[in-house]
Structure 1
Amino acid sequence: MVITSEKNEFIKDVKKLADKKYRYEKRLFFVEGKNSVFEALKSGFEIVHLLVAEDFNIDFQIEKEKIVFVDEKVFKKISDTVAPQMIMAVVKMPKWEVNDIVKEGGFYVILDEVQDPGNVGTIIRSADAFNVDGVFAINNTVDIYNPKVLRSTMGSIFHLPVVNDVEPSRLFHVLKKHGIRILSTSLKAEKYIYDFDISKNAALIFGNESRGVNRLLDEFIDSSFKIPMDGMAESLNVSVAASICLYESERQRLIK
């Protein structure tokens, strides 16, 4: 059976997952594209439904009862992309707990009111590439299950714990209890990133694209550093800055 109408109740429900409120009511999100779906299947996340076009070649294992065939025209109506790959997975949100993720010796990323979905997704992807133990989103950072965020992660959302809407004071309490230093980037800092040991026992905060890290967090921050820049640019895009910092952490681990 192939669903051929966008008025189908199942299709309506999937389409509504583009809305944050509905996602959290249902505790579901969707990812599109063969690569992201494949990473979801490998990850152990619970796949609730797999939507595919009628002639799509399913070359990976999944329970037949979870597969839903959808007409291409209908698929384009529910897709968040201009040129959909005709495969989508509806996935159950994991129940990450801060206390289960934070450990002594760990290395973490905190996103403070980062608003651009592409930036958030890119930072999650870099966190995956450079062996971060967990990512925490605080202070109205864009939802990590936003379709544009998920697309930018290129499947990395399934490789490490990423926790949305964490209460800041609780997060910082747990981090400090485990001996994790809280560090932030700042253009006004006197020291450079390489002056700090960020190979472990550290959580790096990256702030809003235009305002940086919220000053209300100053009481929790142990130190700040800057990235050396000799060119004319006043600052770096937050995802670029984060990637440089995460690479430096990995570099420090490799030379020890």
Structure 2
Amino acid sequence: MTTDLPLLSNARSDRVRSVRSLGRRAVRQRVGRFVVEGPQAVRELLSYAGHAASDLYLTSSAAERHTEIVELANAVRVAVRLCTDEVLAAMTDTSHPQGMIAVAEPVHVPLEEALGAVTGRDNPASRLFVVVLTNVRDPGNAGTVLRAADAFGAAAVLVSDASVDIYNPKVVRSTVGSLFHLPVSVGAPVPDLLEACRAAGLRVLAADGTGETSLPEVDLSAPHAWVMGNEAWGLEPEVRDLCDDVVSIPIVRAESLNLAMAATVCLHASSSAAR
């Protein structure tokens, strides 16, 4: 029973400071841990990647409301620790962490393994595409693209070395648990990512407003990779040159779509073509 657990009440304790420090990228990389906030994300972590979780911190009221999450934590042998609202708030960079957070190890996989998800023999037709993030710097955009990739059945997400850290708290919050649903590979330079995609038999498609090929004209029935660029300047010319085609989204009136919206449109098109 959670009510039998000791209550963490000192917001200045070493444990609290240690969890709080995971908001900094340098600390996350040094200790190999990151924070997952909120019931939905924590539930997905425990359900899909429970082996990566180490600690669950939650208030007494959250424990009463979300008994199934506590049961999940116990089932995968994650330490459950009750704490006050003040302690929980001190552990995160948000004012309202929704009553619980978890600490976990990174869940990304090697590039070859991520691409194996689309090239495997038992791969369903709905997972014939991957997403490549190049120089994506905004945490909210990165998280939203990852969530869209999950929603529309992408086989994997590949994140370049020049992009935002996917374990940034804002990225993790934006994925709302999708981070734990599909293979994510991080850290490779963009040319290496595109070369690996092509070697795996994927057609490499640049999503860019300068493209002369319109999205409705593209054959998305074969395995392919969508290459997404930076929020401000899009894809660099040298990256576009490495792609098999440059695809634009037809727009009626607005000047352009932001990265997350453009990615969602492209991924929906890929998902529809696979049905």
2:67 matched to which residue of 1? 59
| Aligned partner of residue 75 in structure 1, secondary structure | helix
User: Would you tell me which structure has more helix in proportion to its own residues?
Assistant: 2
Q: How does 1:89-238 map to 2 (within 5 A)?
A: 89-103=102-116, 104=119, 106-231=128-253, 233-238=254-259
* Distance apart, 1:65 and its partner CA: 6.4
Return the TM-score normalized by structure 1.
0.93
| Aligned partner of residue 143 in structure 1, secondary structure | coil
* Distance apart, 1:167 and its partner CA: 2.4
Measure the CA separation in 2 of the matches of 1:198 and 1:65: 42
Measure the CA separation in 2 of the matches of 1:87 and 1:158: 17
Provide Cα deviations, 1:188-233, integer angstroms capped at 9, x if missing partner.
22211121122341111111111001223234211101101121x2
Does the CA-based 8 Å contact 2:114-2:184 persist in structure 1? no
Does the CA-based 8 Å contact 1:112-1:214 persist in structure 2? no
| Aligned partner of residue 36 in structure 2, secondary structure | strand
2:42 matched to which residue of 1? 37
Query: What residue ranges of structure 1 are gaps of 5+ in the alignment?
Result: none
1:84 matched to which residue of 2? 97
2:269 matched to which residue of 1? 248
Does the CA-based 8 Å contact 1:191-1:225 persist in structure 2? yes
Does the CA-based 8 Å contact 1:115-1:208 persist in structure 2? yes
* Distance apart, 1:72 and its partner CA: 1.2
Task: State the percentage of identical aligned residues.
Answer: 31
* Distance apart, 1:158 and its partner CA: 0.8
Query: What residue ranges of structure 2 are gaps of 5+ in the alignment?
Result: 1-5, 121-127
AA paired with 2:14?
Answer: E
AA paired with 2:140?
Answer: G
Alpha carbons of structure 1 residues 19 and 199: separation in structure 2 relative to 1, 3 Å: farther
* Distance apart, 1:2 and its partner CA: 1.5
Measure the CA separation in 2 of the matches of 1:185 and 1:250: 16
| Aligned partner of residue 67 in structure 1, secondary structure | strand
Measure the CA separation in 1 of the matches of 2:236 and 2:160: 11
AA paired with 1:234?
Answer: E
* Distance apart, 1:95 and its partner CA: 4.7
Does the CA-based 8 Å contact 2:132-2:228 persist in structure 1? yes
| Aligned partner of residue 256 in structure 2, secondary structure | coil
